[in-house]
Amino acid sequence: MGCYDCCIRCIGAVPYPSLVATLLCYAGMALFCGCGHEALTQTEVLVETYFARNIQDYVVMASFIKYFQYVIYGLASFFFLYGILLLAEGFYTTSAVKQTFGEFRSTQCGRCLSLTFIIVTYILAFIWLAVFAFSAIPVFFLFNMEQTCHTVNILSESTPSINQHGWICMDARQYGLLPWNAMPGKSCGTTLAAICKTSEFYVTYDLYIAAFAGAGITLLALFLYLVATTYNYAVLRFLGRKGIR
């Protein structure tokens, strides 16, 4: 067998859907974990500087941010290992389906392993769907804050004093970032306009958008894993019923 034929056989054994899903998963997790970690740090600084005067008002949020950052470390490690396992499972099932390597055949144990990966990936997809929805909350908060600042800027151009717009506020307590007894808990008028002009605000906003996009890319990768693994498992079951084991 020539080198060309060997290359064709090797290329034919590559599970391209699983490979694409793995690359998407790694890219999405890199965005979600990296940008999310830094965005949480910036959020603590913004809340501490502009929305709370007493450390007791944001101690719960600070603890949540600290523990969630540790969760991010765990998520990055877990998805790195799980992506390798799914890619290896993709190579196995693709080789079994295409019968690339001589007498290599699927076994009952191999089909059970594939089914296990399908079930686990389904569970992860549903869990990550909730994470994807949860990651939209800070984006929604900062988007509303930016729009409120835009309103303040427009009104300030049409009136002699921006202090007249002190009734335009952004309340962090309404989004669960602070308890209801936190003081001041909100920013209004000139203070709100000053926040929106800081580089920290826009950096935090962009980081949350990137983390939200990363969560969406990871969710897409999990759905692609589901399609690939379910298809390969169905073909393996068909081959098993035909007596090709």
Q: Which of 120, 91, 124, 109 is nearest to 232 (CA)?
A: 91
Per-residue pLDDT of 63-122, as tens digits, reads: 888 888 888 889 889 999 988 888 887 777 665 555 543 444 555 666 677 788 888 889
pLDDT of residue 63: 82
Task: Give the residue, 155 or 34, on which the prediction is more confident.
Answer: 34
Residue 11 pLDDT > 70? no
Residue 171 pLDDT > 90? no
Note if the pTM is more than 0.95: no
Handedness of CA 193, 41, 186, 175 (dihedral sign): positive
Residue 230 pLDDT > 70? yes
pLDDT of residue 105: 52
Please state, in angstroms and rounded to a whole number, the distance separating the CA atoms of residues 201 and 44: 12
